[in-house]
Amino acid sequence: MSTAKDPGTKSPGRAIPWTLLRRLVMLAILGLFMLQYFEVKLLVGSLTGSTLLGQVKLLDVFAFIEISAAAKGVSLIMLTAVLPVALLYLVLGRAFCGWVCPMDLLFSLVDKLRPGDKPAQPPLRPQAGYWLAGGLLLAALVTSLPLFTNYLSHLTNIFRTIAGGVFLAADLPVEPAVIAWSLLTLLALLILQYFYPRFWCRVLCPVGKTYGLFNQVSLLKLRFNRGDCEGCELCEHKCYMGVKIVRNLDQGKLRDPNCIYCGRCVEGCRHKGRLIRMSLK
């Protein structure tokens, strides 16, 4: 860690409320999806696959890979749908997890239920998730079915649950088994979160693992200024993705596949954005 003084980093800056901002973005995106149930078709579908403004098809990157593996080929429609998403996260890296995925919000609510004692660390190393993703792709090849995307994905199941709730409220027919399955898979993730905070996101989730690969090349990254780091590690305590920040301060920047660009480390640091910052440059 650096102890060199840099007068250029000492001026008091206005701290950006990253957590508030990303909660607003998350809720706004969810709100846009919710409008489809009120006949306002700005964003139709789910975070797995959707249509923007009736024209632009969007497809999650892992869903694209898994569906292509199951179909043993790539369709032009899917390719044009995944490209805008891939381009976006080539710029923003794994920001999908910190700014878009509603599980982040649900997991934060579960955190509030847990007693204050130190939560358990994930029982597996982050690399295990790549094996899981590889296994799911192999299963798709063998079964010709995108098992994760169709049945297990939290993105698919959240939207099925929401749609089921809206349909029930409107007295429209629903498939009880589908709703029950979606609820069960979500409940399993919430229970996992209670006992092993962010185990799903840090280690297992194939969607997050895929976007994590984009962090290696994305424009968005964590940058570190030379400044007065006291080694308090408040930034790392705030990081629920287990990213090792302090040991990398001297590197000037950090590209960790588990960083979701949530900004909690920036907020947690006493120097409020002057030592650690998120940067597109």
Among 245, 249, 269, 275, the residue binding ligand SF4 under the rule CB under 6 A is: 245
Q: Which is nearer to ligand SF4, 69 or 243 (CB)?
A: 243
Tell me which amino acid residue 264 is.
R
Between CA 8 and CA 90 the distance in angstroms is 30
Question: For residue 239, what are the contacts with CB-CB under 8 A and spacing of at least 6?
Answer: 245, 264, 265, 268
Q: How far is CA 141 from CA 35, 135, 147, 160, in A?
A: 36, 10, 10, 25
Q: 72 and 197 in contact (C-beta within 8 Å)? A: no
**Distance separating alpha carbons of residues 79 and 119, to the nearest angstrom:** 41
Instruction: Quote the least distance from Cβ 263 to ligand SF4, whole Å.
Output: 5
Beta carbon of residue 169, minimum distance to ligand SF4 (angstroms, whole number): 26
Based on CB atoms, which residue is closest to ligand SF4, 119 or 167? 119
* 3-state SS assignment for residue 103: helix
Residues paired with 50 in a beta bridge: 45, 58
Q: How far is the CB of 154 from ligand SF4 (least distance, A)?
A: 5
Largest distance between two CA atoms of the chain? 66
Piece of 35-43, 69-77, 163-171, 255-263 that binds ligand SF4 (CB under 6 A)? 255-263
The distance of closest approach from Cβ of residue 97 to ligand SF4 in the complex, given in angstroms and rounded to an integer, is 3
Q: Is 151 helix (H, G, I), strand (E, B) or coil?
A: helix
With CB atoms as reference, the residue minimizing the distance to ligand SF4 is 208
Residue nearer to ligand SF4 on the CB measure, 69 or 207: 207
From 93, 122, 263, 273, residue interacting with ligand SF4 (rule: CB under 6 A) = 263
Among 85, 243, 269, 275, binds ligand SF4 (CB under 6 A): 243
Measured CA to CA, the distance from residue 279 to residue 92 in angstroms comes to 10
269: contact with ligand SF4 by CB under 6 A: no
CB-neighbour burial class of residue 1 (10 A; exposed 0-12, middle 13-18, buried 19+): middle
Bridge-based pairing of strands 49-52 and 56-59 is antiparallel
Give, as ranges, the residues between 146 and 175 that touch ligand SF4 (CB under 6 A): 154
Residues of span 183-212 touching ligand SF4 by CB under 6 A:
200-201, 205, 207-208
Nearer to ligand SF4, 76 or 154 (CB): 154
Residues 71-100 that bind ligand SF4 (CB under 6 A): 97
- Using the contact rule CB under 6 A, the part of the chain among 85-93, 113-121, 144-152, 260-268 near ligand SF4 is 260-268
Which residues contact residue 107 at a Cβ distance below 8 angstroms, ignoring those fewer than 6 apart? Answer: 190, 193, 197, 198, 200, 201
Quick one: angle between helices 76-92 and 61-71, nearest 10?
150
Least distance to ligand SF4, CB of residue 268, Å: 7
Give the interface with ligand SF4 as residue ranges (CB under 6 A).
97, 101, 103-104, 154, 200-201, 205, 207-208, 222, 238-239, 241, 243, 245, 259-265
